[in-house]
Amino acid sequence: MTTTGSNVPAAPADAARRGTGRTPTPPPLLDRLWRRRSAAVALVAAAGVVSGAVWALAVPRGPMNSWSGLVLMATGLLLASVAGLVLRHRRAVLLVLAAHVAAFEVVRWPVDGPVVDGIALDSTYGVIGFVTGRMFDGVLLALPALVGVLYGAGAARRWAGQAHRPGPVLVIRRVLAGVLAVAVLGFAVLVAQPASTDPITWPDGAPVAGSVAELATLRLGGHDQAVMLRGRSDRAPVLLYLAGGPGGTDLGAMRLFGERLESDFVVATWDQRGAGTSYGSLDPASTLTPDRVVADTIELAQRLRDRFDQDRVYLVGNSYGTLVGVLAAQQRPDLFAAYVGTGQMVDVAETDRMFYADTLAWARRTGDDGLVETLARNGPPPYGDVFPYEQALSHGHAWRDDPAFDPSSEPPDNLFVEEYDLVQKVRGLPSFIDTFSVLYPQLQDIDLRVQAAQLQVPVYVVTGEFEARGRIGLAREWFSVLDAPDKQWIERPRSGHRPQFEQPDMFAATMRTVLSETGR
C-alpha cells in the first residue's frame, strides 16, 4: 500500500482516481521541496526577504513612475507564484509578502521622511502619507500576488496529483480566479500608461509648426529632474516657472490654466528635485538644501537659454518659488530678463507666526475647540516635524476671503492630467510631504528684506487683493526697500495667493506687458 500525505506526491493510481487521467511528473527540485516542508518554507521566506531588501535599496520610498509600478506588480506576481508552487497552498502568499514587507521596512530604515517613518494616523498629512505610500504600494504588490498564488498553488496540486474533482465548486473557483486575473491585468494597463502632453495645435487639430510640447528629463545638480516645455513657437522668449511648496508640483495647474502663456512664451514648468515627477531624485535628502535648489535653478536657466537661443529667460515664482527665484536672480542677473513674483514670500518664520495667530483667532471665533486645543498644545511655529504645520498653515482658505480661488488648481485636483502617469498622480502629495519636511526647516533664517534688498533685474510683484496678511504685508515691506532697475507692484482684484491660476487671462496680459517693457 502506498501512503499519501500533504507533503508526498499522490501515487499514479490516486491521480487517476482524482480525474487527472495521467501520472503527475513534478520537476525533481519541486518533488524534493515537497518532501521537506521546512526547506520549502525557508525558501519562500528567503525569496520574500531578498526581494524586499532589493526594493528598499533601489526605491526606498516606493515606486515613482509607471515602470517601477509595473515592476513591483511583476514582483508580487512572481513571488506569490513561486510561493504557491513550492508550498502548494494559497496561504503561502501571506508568508512571502510578510517577508518582503518586513525586509523592505528594515532595510530602508535609514531613510527619513514622514511618508516612510512611523505611521501617524492622527494627522491628515499622516493619513495621506499612509494611504498614498504604504497602502498604495501594498495594492501594487498584493493584487498580482493573489493571482500568482492561485495559479501557483493550482499548478502544484495538479503536479502532485491532488487536483480537485470537476464540479460546480471548481468551476466557481476558476471563474473567480479568471475574473481576478482580468481585473489585475486591467489595473496593470492603467499603471502602464505613460505620462504625456498634448501637441499644440491649430483649431482644426493640425500641429503648429515650430511649436514645443514635451516632457523632458534633465540632469541638474547630479539628479534627474522633470520639466514640461510648451509654447507655440520655439523662437519665443522662455518663461521658467518655479512652483511653491517646497515640494509642490504645478504641471497640472499650468496645463489647466497656463495655456494663455504659451502664445507668447516657451513655458518651462519645472518639478524641482523631490517634487512631483522628480520625487525619485529626493535622495540622498541630506544633500537637498535651498542653496542646491538655487544652483539647480541657475543651471536650468542656462540650459534653457542655450537650447532656445535666448539671451535671457523670464523667471516667475509662486510662494516658496519666489524665494528661490529672488535668490537665483540675485546671484545671476545676467541670466534673467525679469523676475515676476506671485504670492511673494519674504520671511518664512514671520509669515508662519502670523498664520498661526490668524488660524487660532479663526478657530476661537468659529468655536472649533479641537483646533484651538491642538494649536495651543503645539504652540507657535517653527516646529520640529511637518505635522504641526498642517494645523497652523492649511486653514487659510477658511479664515480669509478668496473669491477667485479654484480648487482644481491645487492638489489633489490638479494631479488628474495626463502629464502625470498613475503612480505619479498618487505620489504627488507624498512628494510634497517628504520634500517639505527636508527643506522647510532650512528656510527659517531667510529674510529677503535683509538678504535681497537689491536686485539687478526688473522686478514685478503680482499679488492678489485677498492674499493673506502674513504674506502681502511682508511683501510690501520688502518691495518698499528693494533697489532694482525697475520695480512694479501689481495688485489684482479678486485674486488671492495664486493669481496666475486664479485669474489666468489677467496674468497672461500682465506677462505680455512685462515682455513689452523689457525689450521684446
Query: How far is residue 473's CA from residue 47's CA, in Å, rounded to a whole number?
Result: 59
Flag whether 394 is in a domain.
Answer: no
Q: Name every residue whose Cβ is closer than 8 Å to that of residue 73 and which is 6 or more positions away in sequence.
A: 140, 141, 143, 144, 184, 187, 188, 191
Query: How far is residue 228's CA from residue 71's CA, in Å, rounded to a whole number?
Result: 25
CB 419 within 8 A of CB 215: yes
CB 128 within 8 A of CB 430: yes
Confidence of residue 498 (pLDDT cuts 50, 70, 90): very high
Task: With H, G, I as helix, E, B as strand and everything else as coil, classify residue 25.
Answer: coil
Same domain, yes or no: 320 and 456: yes
pLDDT score of 3 more than 60: no
β-pairing, 223-231 vs 212-220, is antiparallel
Torsion angle of the four alpha carbons 464, 469, 472, 478, in this order, in degrees rounded to the nearest 10: 180
Flag whether 504 is in a domain.
Answer: yes
Least confident of 7-21, 87-101, 166-180: 7-21
Residue range 338-365, pLDDT digits in tens = 999 999 999 999 999 999 999 999 999 9
Residue range 290-344, pLDDT digits in tens = 999 999 999 999 999 999 999 999 999 999 999 999 999 999 999 999 999 999 9
Task: Identify the residue whose cell numbers are 518659488.
Answer: 321
DSSP secondary structure code for residue 23 in this structure: -
Same domain, yes or no: 427 and 513: yes
Query: How far is residue 341's CA from residue 180's CA, in Å, rounded to a whole number?
Result: 51
CB 495 within 8 A of CB 464: yes
Same domain, yes or no: 219 and 172: no
Of residues 386, 394, 434, 390, the one with CA closest to residue 410: 394
pLDDT reported for residue 298? 98
Same domain, yes or no: 187 and 218: no
Residue type, position 434, single letter? D
Residue range 262-298, pLDDT digits in tens = 999 999 999 999 999 999 999 999 999 999 999 999 9
Same domain, yes or no: 159 and 47: yes
Same domain, yes or no: 309 and 421: yes
pLDDT score of 479 more than 90: yes
Confidence of residue 47 (pLDDT cuts 50, 70, 90): very high
Same domain, yes or no: 137 and 238: no
Same domain, yes or no: 132 and 243: no
pLDDT reported for residue 409? 78
Least confident of 161-165, 180-184, 189-193, 332-336: 161-165
Residue type, position 477, single letter? E
Q: What is the mean pLDDT of the chain?
A: 90
Q: Which residue has the higher pLDDT, 178 or 447?
A: 447
Confidence of residue 5 (pLDDT cuts 50, 70, 90): very low
Is the backbone of residue 309 left (phi > 0), alpha (psi -120 to 50) or beta? left
pLDDT score of 493 more than 80: yes
The CA-to-CA distance between both ends of the chain, in Å, stands at 96
Instruction: Please give the residue range of the domain that contains residue 39.
Output: 12-192
148-to-171, 172, 189, 348, 450 alpha-carbon distances in Å: 18, 18, 17, 51, 62
Write out the E strands in 319-389. Answer: 336-342
Flag whether 207 is in a domain.
Answer: no
Flag whether 206 is in a domain.
Answer: no
Query: How far is residue 353's CA from residue 402's CA, in Å, rounded to a whole number?
Result: 21
Domain of 473, CATH number, reads 3.40.50.1820
Percent of the chain with pLDDT over 70: 93
Task: Identify the residue whose cell numbers are 495594492.
Answer: 139
Flag whether 362 is in a domain.
Answer: no
> In the chain, how many domains are there?
2
The strand pairing partners of 240, in sequence order, are: 268, 315
Peptide bond into 382 cis (omega under 30): yes
pLDDT score of 22 more than 70: no
Candidate ranges 17-26, 126-135, 169-178, 304-313; pick with highest mean pLDDT:
304-313
Same domain, yes or no: 121 and 255: no
Residue range 390-432, pLDDT digits in tens = 888 887 777 677 777 777 778 888 899 999 999 999 999 999 9
Least confident of 115-124, 146-155, 225-234: 115-124
pLDDT reported for residue 1? 37
pLDDT reported for residue 405? 74
Domain finish residue from 140, 163, 192:
192
Flag whether 202 is in a domain.
Answer: no
Q: Name every residue whose Cβ is closer than 8 Å to that of residue 378 and which is 6 or more positions away in sequence.
A: 388, 391, 392
C-alpha cell at 142: 498584493
Same domain, yes or no: 184 and 295: no
Confidence of residue 165 (pLDDT cuts 50, 70, 90): low
C-alpha cell at 494: 479678486
CB 305 within 8 A of CB 313: yes
Same domain, yes or no: 75 and 140: yes
Flag whether 361 is in a domain.
Answer: no
Flag whether 359 is in a domain.
Answer: no
Domain finish residue from 158, 192, 226:
192
Same domain, yes or no: 247 and 176: no
Peptide bond into 246 cis (omega under 30): yes
pLDDT reported for residue 164? 61
Distance of CA 335 to the CA centre of its chain: 30
